[in-house]
Structure 1
Amino acid sequence: MNIEELVNQGKASIVDVRSPEEFRGGHVANSVNIPLQEIPQRIEELKAMKMPLVLCCASGNRSGQAEQFLSGYGIQCYNGGSWLDVNYVQSKTV
């Protein structure tokens, strides 16, 4: 199953790893904001979310870093790239 199918079918949690300020400026509906630098301290919270996780940020760089880190903890996750891309994919389901 690809990221588009996961998002379209509501089978994933969307985690935005941008700063709270960036998140307030716009984000994917129903996404959760966990800034990249907070991920190590919030592993248990992430493990409790519906899997897999689709990670997004501004460009895909921070979400890629988060994907590498979380994969090391055995958390099923995917780099969704830009939040705008994930938002577009999600908007096609409505």
Structure 2
Amino acid sequence: MLPFFLIGSAAAILTNVSEPLPVQPDNYGYAYAVDFSAQGSASVFSCLKASRYDTVFLRVYDPRGWGQFDVSAVSNIRQAFSARLGVEVYMTPRLQGTK
């Protein structure tokens, strides 16, 4: 019984040879992005694009105080679009807020 087990185990090991994964390009599956919660200028967003950033994450709700719409959000969105960057927006809620 033992020789049968060893032969079966060896056959299983030899037949389950895994193939190497295909080589992916260096930039496969990821991109550069930056998170903004302050006012940015056109030159800042253009510099980000020139530095190979693809997307900006922009805060549109400021949780400080009682919470409010971020006053730099609209300008940042426009500047980012002008620089041909992708735009994602996020809101940081104020947990104790009543809004």
Instruction: Give TM-score scaled by structure 1 length.
Output: 0.41
Question: Radius of gyration: which is bigger?
Answer: 2
RCO comparison, higher one (Cα < 8 Å, 6+): 1
The structure in which a higher percent of residues are strand is 2
Instruction: Give TM-score scaled by structure 2 length.
Output: 0.40
